[in-house]
Amino acid sequence: MIDKRTIYAMEPMLPSKLDKELEDLAFKLISRSNILTNQLHKITLETIGDLVRSMNCYYSNLIEGHNTHPVDIERALNGDYSQNIEKRNLQLEAFAHIEVQRLIDNNLLEDAHLGTVAKPASIISADYISLIHRHFYERLPKELQWVEDPKTKKKLKVNPGKFRQRDVQVGAHIACSADKLPLFISRFEEAYDLNKLSKLQQLIAVGAAHHRLLWIHPFLDGNGRVARLFSHAFLRNLGIGNSLWSVSRGLARRATDYKRLLMEADALRKGDLDGRGNLSERALVDFCKFFLEISIDQIDFMAKLLNLNSLLERVSDHINLEVQKGHLSKGSYALLKEALITGSFERGQAAELTGYKERQARTVLSTLLSKGLLYSEHSRSKVKIAFPVSILDKWFPGLY
């Protein structure tokens, strides 16, 4: 049993040496990290960030076996919840995930329970990991704050932000005993202390920490989502991740490989050529490579999707088709293009942009606003681009 072993049971925490392929992948990820933020206007990118958070939630939940349709997620964000209790609970779960990532993306993950606003000193800490769990679970409906003991079938309450007080087994993996959790979490904090790691080691540590956090399994439930949100925060902290791409999409689309490699990294060392720790170093290296490959693939995917010329071409093709069907007016594309390129425009510019007279231009603008393709915070504020679910397969093919 793991609870009878020393902290050595979780070693190695990182590959003992960097092989060429790991180094190449880490360098490649660094080189790709800035390409997304340079393609579109900052305001447009913020709106896309909201879209990607919804996508991230969709894929992270999909890994857990919860398939919440993008339309239902969009409705939840608009406060429109299903009358069906099960579907409503999944909508609330999706909203909780999106809200926690929004807090992470805006550096607002704080502990409001301490009387004063407090932030953990480092994201590589028990405090930060607990905050992710707390913010997520406190937003869940009460029905989803319970888990069932697989042996006794007894319902167990999940306490938001609190480490488990009982021993658990996940598949074939017996997680460390509850009384040893502080010891293993302390080792986790020490091993991935960014001040002690080189830039390359930090990047490789994201995948390693992802697995070791799941290996520790600190919470009674929600460990998978917490680990993926934590990895997102880790990548952001390194200046690699941002709100424009999601590692969860890549992990979900290769869920079989993801789960297989996680299980293989749980395995004990296989002989003298497999490192010097208790667990297989070769399997840890394989998972770290996989994690880096997924990250690079998702950045490349989003970079291609957000290429301005290609995006404008897809938008133009879609709007022209809608014009032919009589759903939109010819001046629609001009307004959408302006919002995409410049981030926003004044309502009074509609006539100039469309080439129509004032009244007709207002009608074109009003139609786009009513269909959710453009939005503004109030009647006198600037108009910005919007990305409703109804157009995603045409403007952002393959996103879902």
CATH code assigned at 391: 1.10.10
The answer to the question of residue 400 being in a domain is no
Contact between 372 and 386 under an 8 Å Cβ cutoff? The reply is yes
Confidence of residue 118 (pLDDT cuts 50, 70, 90): low
Same domain, 273 and 368: no
Same domain, 277 and 321: no
- The answer for residues whose C-beta is within 8 angstroms of residue 398's C-beta and 6 or more apart is 301, 305
Distance between CA atoms of 219 and 161, rounded to whole angstroms? 8
pLDDT, mean of residues 322-344: 96
The answer to the question of residue 300 being in a domain is yes
Tally of CB atoms within 10 A around 157 = 11
Same domain, 57 and 88: yes
Token code pair at residue 5: 């072993």
The answer to the question of residue 36 being in a domain is yes
Distance between CA atoms of 156 and 269, rounded to whole angstroms? 34
Contact between 298 and 250 under an 8 Å Cβ cutoff? The reply is yes
Q: Calculate the CA 232 to chain-centre distance.
A: 6
Token code pair at residue 178: 């509850």
Collapsing DSSP states into helix, strand and coil, what is residue 164?
A: coil
Same domain, 273 and 192: yes
- End of a domain among 305, 335, 356? 305
Same domain, 38 and 96: yes
The answer to the question of residue 100 being in a domain is yes
The answer to the question of residue 152 being in a domain is yes
The answer to the question of residue 69 being in a domain is yes
Q: Is the pLDDT of residue 3 over 70?
A: no
Burial 2-19 (b: 16+ CB within 10 A, else e): beeeeeebbbbbbbeebe
Same domain, 329 and 301: no
Same domain, 103 and 76: yes
Residues facing residue 345 across a β-bridge: 383
- End of a domain among 277, 305, 333? 305
Helix (H) or strand (E) holding 70: helix 70-77
Distances (CA, A) of 82 to 54, 76, 87, 301, 400: 18, 9, 6, 33, 21
Give the CATH number for residue 65: 1.10.3290.10
pLDDT, mean of residues 7-25: 91
Distance between CA atoms of 116 and 100, rounded to whole angstroms? 19
Same domain, 284 and 317: no
Amino acid occupying residue 170: V
Contact between 306 and 314 under an 8 Å Cβ cutoff? The reply is no
Of the listed ranges 35-39, 170-174, 207-211, 291-295, the least confidently predicted one is 35-39
Contact between 39 and 48 under an 8 Å Cβ cutoff? The reply is no
Average pLDDT, the chain: 92
How many independent structural domains does the chain possess? 2
Same domain, 285 and 372: no
Distance between CA atoms of 393 and 400, rounded to whole angstroms? 8
Percent of the chain with pLDDT over 70: 97
Same domain, 259 and 317: no
Token code pair at residue 58: 């969709």
pLDDT, mean of residues 322-342: 96
The answer to the question of residue 172 being in a domain is yes
pLDDT tens per residue, range 105-115: 998 887 655 44
pLDDT, mean of residues 127-139: 96
Q: Is the pLDDT of residue 301 over 70?
A: yes
Quick one: 196 exposed, middle or buried, by C-beta within 10 A (0-12, 13-18, 19+)? Answer: exposed
pLDDT tens per residue, range 159-208: 999 999 999 988 888 889 999 999 999 999 999 999 999 999 999 999 99
Distance between CA atoms of 213 and 184, rounded to whole angstroms? 9
Distance between CA atoms of 368 and 363, rounded to whole angstroms? 9
CA atoms within 13 A on the CB side of 4: 1
pLDDT, mean of residues 1-12: 71
Q: How many helices (H) and strands (E) does the chain have?
A: 16, 6
- End of a domain among 290, 305, 320? 305
Same domain, 299 and 390: no
- The residue range of the domain holding 375 is 308-395
Q: Is the pLDDT of residue 89 over 90?
A: yes
Residue 109: the pLDDT is 84
Same domain, 73 and 47: yes
Residue 129's nearest CA partner among 221, 213, 236, 215 is 213
Distance between CA atoms of 181 and 294, rounded to whole angstroms? 30
- Structure-token match 């999601």, residue found: 246
